[in-house]
């Protein structure tokens, strides 16, 4: 349930007091904050690869089987049953690249796995974006308010956060799943939920995953509001709103973006896990987790039914994780790009051959 | 300090009350507990529905039922009162009883995995931090990201297919074909060549040695059918023991401390003698005896170190104690291997030892060794799956923590005053890097008994997660509440412990009373 995320690691990095004497980088001369961040991000090859893979998967998933009523270019959709071709074995081949009739194969009753996987990837990405947006907004608002205003606002909001943080996500997901499945009751909510189950699931999961972000943003606001530039703004008569939006938020945006990304990568695993347990997306709609759970028994006879959905989960999640890592490096002012060649060249002449390991660990080269 | 703890505990109790009320209402409103009967065509349908309503007290509205439940749960606070009442589940079993059973199952499942993940993760994190931006670092970082992204249920199914079914098929005829042996040897050699670091020549030589050794061992295993009749024997224990003695001494004392090295080597010699002495005793083994023997082993090691003395007695004692423990572990492993053929040919196991589901073979008979092996073979797959998904966070966490520390001024000071690299890394850096790790470990131990819902589902272990999920599926609040209270209380207590530990370990952090 609680697979550890990169967020913990992020917290670890921030739990240390900052080393004194952070020096300016020569590469940052004459550039704005945004330009520096963009330059660093584009220089992070892992993040660029992740971005490329994610955009490819996004385009493939949303154009192939169509979305929200818009038809796609692929001839089947996730419900179409067609006669088994070659007993459902995947027809795509890498050697002599060919696409074939059913590139990822078919399941027992002849549904096209490519269409099902694409549909599942759509669901995962939709839920991920929903959770990221809602959790990001709520977390910023609640964390920001409690960190900026302190006093009773903070006490109330943080106690609510404490309560929500210990309620198991599985329980909330089960409640949502149940209310989505009550199609007979005819209320506006169940009517809406029956046709948009995935949206409801995403919104509800977003409503419970903001707590970590709220705590983080509160911490950021607590430190930033004590800084001199905030005092200066207050003395010159700036309103609370102006201080928050013009002075504090731009400084906290790095932490926010990085952690929203990491929340999103955890969200994908959460959705697939819930669907696997049977409390997330339900059939006849499909999702990557549900596909794996439906087909794990058939592993020995039809392994492709198991491989392709799993591969797409891993690819989406991995690319988001790499993007998050790139963003973290880009936003972290302490990070210095280490260049082994440069460090070797600048070694003072006559330095002992066996330099202490400090020279090799990159950041001590000052 | 005391006021701080009291205030934290009172807040925790209030939060727990609020959260448990919410959880109760959510569970109760999450579905229709009579659903399975509504569509049934049984003649006594009404009677079944009535009895279920009575069992779950459905005539009382959910908020009132919560307070009834709370009344029963409050009795649990009376120590040794024995009147703890958390209600009954749908089968009429008291929740306290079900929780006890589930807790044992869950803890056997997750404890080993968590401990191993922490140890391996921290070790990998330190190594990658010391070799920042090396091939090893990039490799481990990529693996960490990959493991972050793996859905555990997917890993579990793969492990079942290749780890269990594949390995069992292999055991039927345990012969490793020559190309496979060479291939595995080559992979091991490449990994070592990447990991050792240093000059190209050194990498090539160590990689080559490992390649030869691994391939030869595999060929030897294949020839003597080692996987059917495994064993170490005193010679291997002695050789491995000497290796361990050197490794432990390098880490805790440095090879320059001759007394420490000598004590560790003496302990290895004692271990080989003990190997022959304890064999008859081990045939009558019980769990308690193994624990006592383990404690005695460490005691002998520490005593040896104490008697050897030297300029730093503590280092000798530590080196000898740890070596003794490891050699004892080798002897234990050997005894387990001796019991392997018996287990393998057991009528219940029938030559397919690695299990894919459950927590034990039903109705298996045998002595302590066979029963323990049975538990191991059932634990091995879930443990591997759990280690894979939780290893990454410890690795990354330790790495970033260690990197921060290595840039601190006091590390520079330690280097400048001429300390050896070993004592800089192990004595100054590692201990301080452990501070944030200690808090995360405390969190994780707090979260342990929540169990791994998905892992338990995939491997059909009836632990806490199963109890919880089952309660949700049947819209039965009592088991859900039982699990929730256990998990929430431990999580909160360990959060408090983590905060206190942090301020105790790091004097820069002070608790606001």
* A284 preceded by a cis bond (ω within 30 of 0): yes
The DSSP letter of residue A357 is: G
Q: Give the gap in angstroms from C-alpha A234 to the nearest C-alpha of chain B.
A: 28
Phi, psi of A163 (to 5 degrees): -65, -45
Partner-chain contact A292 B390, CB within 8 Å: no
pLDDT of residue B218: 87
CA distance A131 to A271: 10
Task: Quote the pLDDT of residue B231.
Answer: 80
Helices B2-29 and A169-181: angle between axes, nearest 10 degrees: 20
Q: Which two tokens stand for residue A311?
A: 């591969």
Local structure of A81: helix, strand or coil: strand
Picking from B26, B390, B415, the nearest residue to A356 by CB comes out as: B415
Token reading at A356: 């202490």
Cβ within 8 Å, pair A168-B152: no
pLDDT at A1: 43
State the best of A16, A154, A309 to mutate against chain B, taking most chain B CBs within 10 Å.
A16
Place A235 in a pLDDT band, splitting at 50, 70 and 90.
Answer: very high
Work out the pLDDT band at A25, boundaries 50, 70, 90. low
- pLDDT for A190 beyond 50: yes
Query: What DSSP character marks residue B424?
Result: I
* Per-residue tokens: B139: 């490799």
The tokens for A191 are 């009517």
Which of A157, A174, A337 best tests the B interface by mutation, with the highest count of B CBs <10 A? A174
Q: Residues A136-163: what's their mean pLDDT?
A: 88
Residues whose CB is less than 8 angstroms from the CB of residue B209 and which lie 6 or more positions away in sequence, other chains included: none
What does pLDDT average to in each consecutive run of 10 residues of chain B (513 residues)? 86 88 83 70 74 74 81 74 69 80 85 90 90 84 86 86 83 81 89 79 88 88 82 86 91 84 91 88 84 92 86 86 92 88 80 76 79 86 87 87 87 90 87 83 75 81 85 83 86 84 77 57
| Cα–Cα dist A44/A52, whole Å | 12
**What mean pLDDT, rounded, does chain A reach?**
75
Residue count (chain A): 366
Residues 6+ apart with CB under 8 A from B431: none
Answer yes or no: do B26 and A172 touch at CB < 8 A: yes
Q: How confident is the model at residue A242 (pLDDT cuts 50, 70, 90)?
A: very high
Q: What pLDDT was estimated at residue A96?
A: 60
- Is pLDDT larger for residue A257 or for residue B513? A257
How close, in Å, is residue A82 to chain B by CA atoms? Answer: 28
The DSSP 8-state label assigned to residue A112 in this structure reads: B
CA distance A236 to chain B (A): 33
* Cβ contact, residue pair B31, A178, below 8 Å: yes
pLDDT at residue A360, rounded to an integer: 36
pTM to 2 decimal places: 0.82
pLDDT band per the 50, 70, 90 thresholds, residue A39 = confident
Instruction: Determine contact, residues A83/A89, Cβ cutoff 8 Å.
Output: no
Given this model, what pLDDT does residue B299 score? Answer: 93
- pLDDT at position B391 is 86
Q: A346 and A34 in contact (C-beta within 8 Å)? A: no
Own/partner pairs for A306-312, CB < 8 Å, 24+ apart? A306/B154, A306/B157, A308/A104, A308/A105, A308/A113, A308/A114, A308/A117, A309/A116, A309/A117, A309/A120, A310/B151, A310/B154, A312/A57, A312/A117, A312/A120, A312/A121, A312/A124, A312/A288
Q: Which residue of chain B comes nearest to A301, CA vs CA? A: B161
pLDDT tens for residues A40-72? 888 888 889 999 999 999 988 888 776 666 777
Whole-angstrom CA distances from B59 to A219, A251, B117, B482 are 47, 55, 48, 22
CA-based nearest residue to B154, from A279, A124, A316, A293: A293
User: CA nearest A292: which of A113, A128, A90?
Assistant: A113
Strand partners, A112: A106
Cβ-contact A124, A271 below 8 angstroms: yes
Phi/psi of residue B418, each to 5°? 90, 20
Partners of residue A19 in chain B, C-beta under 8 Å: 404, 407-409
Task: Compute the distance between CA of residue B185 and CA of residue B181 in angstroms, rounded to an integer.
Answer: 6
Contact call for residues B385 and B155 (beta carbons, < 8 A): yes
What count of other Cβ atoms lies within 10 Å of the Cβ of residue A32? Answer: 9
Number of A/B CB contacts below 8 angstroms equals 178
pLDDT > 70? residue A263: yes
Per-residue confidence at A92, pLDDT binned at 50, 70, 90? low
Instruction: Report residue A343's pLDDT band, with 50, 70 and 90 as the boundaries.
Output: very low
A236-240, A242-246, A265-269: range with lowest mean pLDDT: A265-269
Q: Fill in the DSSP letter of residue A24.
A: P
Structural tokens at position B8: 């934290």
């Amino acid at each position: 349930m609680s697979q550890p995320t990169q967020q913990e690691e992020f917290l670890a990095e921030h739990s240390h007091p900052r080393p004194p004497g952070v020096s300016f980088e020569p590469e940052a001369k004459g550039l704005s904050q945004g330009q520096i961040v963009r330059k660093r991000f584009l220089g992070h090859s892992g993040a660029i690869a992740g971005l490329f893979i994610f955009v490819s998967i996004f385009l493939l998933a949303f154009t192939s089987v169509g979305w929200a009523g818009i038809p796609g270019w692929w001839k089947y959709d996730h419900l179409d049953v067609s006669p088994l071709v070659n007993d459902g074995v995947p027809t795509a081949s890498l050697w002599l690249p060919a696409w074939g009739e059913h590139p990822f194969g078919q399941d027992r009753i002849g549904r096209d796995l490519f269409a099902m996987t694409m549909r599942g990837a759509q669901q995962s990405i939709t839920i991920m974006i929903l959770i990221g947006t809602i959790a990001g907004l709520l977390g910023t608002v609640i964390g920001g308010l409690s960190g900026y205003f302190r006093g009773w606002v903070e006490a109330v909001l943080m106690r609510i956060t404490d309560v929500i943080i210990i309620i198991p996500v599985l329980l909330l997901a089960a409640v949502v799943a149940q209310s989505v499945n009550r199609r007979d009751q005819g209320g506006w909510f169940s009517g809406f939920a029956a046709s948009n189950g995935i949206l409801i699931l995403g919104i509800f999961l977003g409503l419970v995953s903001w707590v970590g972000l709220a705590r983080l943003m509160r911490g950021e606001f607590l430190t930033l509001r004590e800084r001199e530039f905030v005092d200066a703004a207050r003395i010159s008569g700036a309103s609370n709103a102006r201080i928050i939006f013009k002075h504090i938020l731009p400084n906290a945006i790095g932490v926010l973006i990085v952690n929203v990304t990491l929340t999103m990568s955890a969200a994908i695993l959460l959705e697939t896990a819930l669907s696997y347990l049977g409390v997330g997306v339900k059939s006849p709609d499909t999702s990557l987790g549900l596909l794996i759970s439906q087909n794990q028994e058939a592993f020995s006879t039809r392994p492709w039914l198991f491989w392709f959905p799993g591969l797409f989960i891993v690819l989406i999640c991995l690319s988001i994780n790499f993007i998050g890592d790139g963003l973290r490096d880009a936003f972290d002012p302490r990070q210095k790009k280490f260049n082994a060649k440069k460090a070797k060249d600048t070694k003072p002449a006559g330095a002992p051959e066996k330099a202490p390991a400090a020279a090799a660990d990159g950041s001590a080269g000052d | 300090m005391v006021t701080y703890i009291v205030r934290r505990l009172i807040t925790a109790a209030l939060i727990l009350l609020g959260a448990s009320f919410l959880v109760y209402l959510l569970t109760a409103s999450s579905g229709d507990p009579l659903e399975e009967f509504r569509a049934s065509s049984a003649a006594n349908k009404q009677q079944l529905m009535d009895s279920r309503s009575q069992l779950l007290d459905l005539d009382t509205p959910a908020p009132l039922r919560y307070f009834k439940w709370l009344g029963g749960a409050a009795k649990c606070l009376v120590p040794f009162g024995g009147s703890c009442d958390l209600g009954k589940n749908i089968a009429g079993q008291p929740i306290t009883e079900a929780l006890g059973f589930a807790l044992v199952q869950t803890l056997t499942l997750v404890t080993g995995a968590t401990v191993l993940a922490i140890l391996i993760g921290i070790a990998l994190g330190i190594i990658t931090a010391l070799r920042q931006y090396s091939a090893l670092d990039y490799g481990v970082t990529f693996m960490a990201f990959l493991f972050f992204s793996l859905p555990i249920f997917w890993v579990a199914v793969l492990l079942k297919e290749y780890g269990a079914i594949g390995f069992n098929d292999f055991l039927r005829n345990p012969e490793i074909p020559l190309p496979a042996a060479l291939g595995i040897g080559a992979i091991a050699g490449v990994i070592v060549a990447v990991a050792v670091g240093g000059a190209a020549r050194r990498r090539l030589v160590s990689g080559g040695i490992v390649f030869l050794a691994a391939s030869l061992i595999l060929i030897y295993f294949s020839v003597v059918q080692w996987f059917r009749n495994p064993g170490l024997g005193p010679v291997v224990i002695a050789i491995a023991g000497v290796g361990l003695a050197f490794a432990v001494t390098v880490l805790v004392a440095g090879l320059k401390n001759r007394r420490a090295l000598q004590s560790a080597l003496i302990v290895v010699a004692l271990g080989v003698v003990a190997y022959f002495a304890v064999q008859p005793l081990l045939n009558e083994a019980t769990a308690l005896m193994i624990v006592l023997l383990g404690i005695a082993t460490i005691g002998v090691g520490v005593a040896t170190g104490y008697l050897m003395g030297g300029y730093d007695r503590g280092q000798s004692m530590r080196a000898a104690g740890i070596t003794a423990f490891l050699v004892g572990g080798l002897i234990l492993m050997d005894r387990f291997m001796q019991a392997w053929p018996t287990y393998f040919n057991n009528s219940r196991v029938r030559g397919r030892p690695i299990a894919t589901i459950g927590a034990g073979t039903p109705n298996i008979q045998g002595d302590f060794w066979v029963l323990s092996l049975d538990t191991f073979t059932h634990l091995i797959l879930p443990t591997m799956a759990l280690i894979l998904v939780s290893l990454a966070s410890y690795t990354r966490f330790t790495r970033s923590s260690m990197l921060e520390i290595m840039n601190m001024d006091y590390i520079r000071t330690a280097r400048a005053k001429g300390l050896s690299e070993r004592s800089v890394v192990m004595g100054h850096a590692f201990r301080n890097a452990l501070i944030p790790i200690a808090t995360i470990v405390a969190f994780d131990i707090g979260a342990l008994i929540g169990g791994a819902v998905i892992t338990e589902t995939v491997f059909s272990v009836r632990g806490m997660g199963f109890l919880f999920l089952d309660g949700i599926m049947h819209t039965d609040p009592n088991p859900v509440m039982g699990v929730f209270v256990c998990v929430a209380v431990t999580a909160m207590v360990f959060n408090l412990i983590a905060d206190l530990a942090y301020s105790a370990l790091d004097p820069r952090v002070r608790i606001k009373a």
